[in-house]
A and B are shown apart, each in its own frame.
Chain A
Amino acid sequence: MTVSGISARGIGMAFGSTVVLDQLDIDVPAGSFVTLLGPSGCGKSTLLKILGGILTPTVGEVMIGDAPARQAVAAKQIGLVLQRPALVPWKTARENVAMLRSIAGKGKARDQAVDDALDLVGLAHAADRYPHQLSGGMAQRVSIARALAMDPAILLMDEPFGALDAITRDSMNETLASIWAATGKTIVFVTHSIGEAVFLSDTVNVMGVNPGRIIDRMTIDIDRPRRADLLDSAEFTGYSTRLREQLVVPQQAGV
């Protein structure tokens, strides 16, 4: 697996007459963990889909490695965790995880990687349940396992832990950090949570609204591996405070 970075230039996206993204540039270095942080409706989900080559921007260009993003899709390099779990209702958790993997040609429908992925998100015990028998948080974790089981070079995650309680969320953050450390995947991660962004990221892209654009990039220079007790350190609070200022001030100015 060759890990590639993503580079997007001059991205603009409009739905009808609504301009959602305007003149946006972003770089995601190969193997890095990059976060999109911003208020609701600023276009994070839209940008994430564009970066993964599954949504074509109105203007602009997305390159993954040396090729247009579409080619990374064709090469099955993209793993996607959307904001909603979007599980197939008539398949069990295990079958859901296995389906995309087998379509992508990354192995047989039932092999160890499927169970490993479910184990990783703490759902080995629920593998045979159907989506309507899962809680919202469990369903979202199945969708994370589905992306992980694909073993993609690039992992795009849209508020994957949004539906989880604080404790599960912290432990999922640690799990994700260790998966990233072990596999060296390129990860683009969307979140509302400042703490989550600081904890996980190499770089945080702060997005502004109307139209969606990147108003600040902050590099998080905290040593890895990062542990949960980091959350109380002065270093961590420093970053959090600065990000919060970025998010709050421009919004008030805009209103």
Chain B
Amino acid sequence: MTATAPARPAPLTSSAPTSSWRLRWSKLWPPLLVAVIVVVAWELAVDVFDVSSYIIATPSEIAAEIVANWQLLLTNTWVTTQEVVYGFLISIVVGVALALAVVRFRFLDRAIYPLIVLFQVVPKVALAPIFILWFGYSMTPKLVLIVVIAFFPITLNMVLGLRRTDEDLLLLMNSVGSSKNEILARIQVPTSLPYLFAGLRIAITLAVIGAVVAEFAGSQNGLGHQIQFASTQLDTAQMFAALIFVSVLGLVLYYLVGFVEYLFKRRFPHLALADV
């Protein structure tokens, strides 16, 4: 983080987007080139070595599969997207609430926080079948699994941020008789927001994992279910097609969170500087 950020972001001039786009392009083409080479080599290798199509599908077969099953893939993507987004939003509420509670009440800090940390040794993915057992084939077990996996980085980062407050500032607040709530709201929460965003970026990727695993464990739709189902049919091309859709979904959601963070930092540049 630089200490020299200007007070207001410079207005976009006509030359700025072009140059930043060029910058992007110069960074983008090397990995893109490698990707193209890999895909071509993949296609050729499968042909040359005559690998049977249920072990690995060629890129062209996967592409054909995507075109043929476009509607089904979209439907399943929509199902998974809903699970991830709702689960992520609930994770934010749970994660932030826990962080605030732990920092605000000494008792909770001592009683609950160690348990939350200890709970992280449980391989939460293994909880999926239990949640299916409890909540059936509805959306609920997916949301529960996502929250269980994704709340922790949010809580952890927010607690860190809430505790990063300037000691002298706390002293000053105390000197005018501020209540703990007032200090929390006026000083600690704003200080913690850049940390919260770091937690959100981790949480969104975990949320996608949670959704897919929950769908593996028991579901009638969603991209995870589609991968699972295709595997029972030895339909490798369909498995890869669904895999690509999950990956793109994860990427899009990750950048969406990054974009919200960017908007936030642009709107409140001085808040973003708070931890300098």
Contacts and interface: CB of A to CB of B under 8 A. Distances in A.
Contacts of A104: 176-177
Interface stretch (A71-79, A119-127, A195-203, A235-243): A71-79
A218 to B, nearest CB: 29
Interface string A18-56: 000000000000000000000000000000010010110
B268 A90 contact: yes
Contact of B169 (A73, A88, A132): A88
Given A76-B176, A132-B270, A133-B7, A49 B182 contact: no
Contacts of B3: 132
B94 to A, nearest CB: 27
B168 A103 contact: no
Contacts of B190: 90
A86 interface: yes
A109 to B, nearest CB: 12
Contacts of B166: 86
A158 to B, nearest CB: 10
Contact of B273 (A73, A79, A89, A150): A89
A88 B190 CA distance: 10
Contact of B186 (A86, A99, A132, A133): A99
Contact of A132 (B174, B182, B268, B276): B276
Interface string B185-209: 0110010000000000000000000
Contacts of B176: 73, 76, 78, 100, 103-104, 150
A89 B171 contact: no
Interface string B164-179: 0010110111111110
Interface residues of A, number: 25
A80 interface: yes
A84 B171 contact: no
Interface string A137-150: 00000000000001
A132 B173 contact: no
A82 interface: yes
Interface string B259-276: 000000000101101101
A86 B172 contact: yes
B270 A100 contact: no
B274 A89 contact: yes
A55 B7 CA distance: 36
A132 B273 contact: yes
Contacts of A180: none
Chain B interface residue number, banded: 20 to 34
A21 B71 CA distance: 77
A229 to B, nearest CB: 36
Contacts of A89: 270-271, 273-274, 276
A78 B3 CA distance: 33
Contact of B172 (A82, A90, A132): A82
A80 B171 contact: yes
Among A74, A80, A82, A90, max chain B CB count under 10 A is at: A90
B3 to A, nearest CB: 6
Among B169, B176, B182, B268, max chain A CB count under 10 A is at: B176
A150 B177 CA distance: 13
A54 B175 contact: yes
A78 B175 contact: yes
A231 to B, nearest CB: 32
Nearest to A101: B176
Contacts of B169: 86, 88
B177 A76 contact: yes
Contact of B7 (A82, A84, A100, A130): A130
A52 B177 CA distance: 12
Nearest to B3: A132
A96 B174 CA distance: 15
Given A99-B186, A130-B7, A54 B271 contact: no
Cβ-closest 10 pairs across A and B? A86-B168, A90-B270, A104-B176, A90-B271, A80-B175, A89-B274, A86-B169, A82-B168, A54-B175, A130-B270
Given A86-B169, A100-B173, A104-B177, 12 more contacts: A49-B171, A82-B171, A84-B168, A86-B166, A88-B169, A89-B274, A90-B270, A90-B274, A99-B186, A100-B176, A104-B176, A150-B176
10 contacts: A54-B174, A73-B176, A74-B177, A80-B172, A84-B168, A90-B190, A103-B173, A103-B178, A103-B182, A132-B276
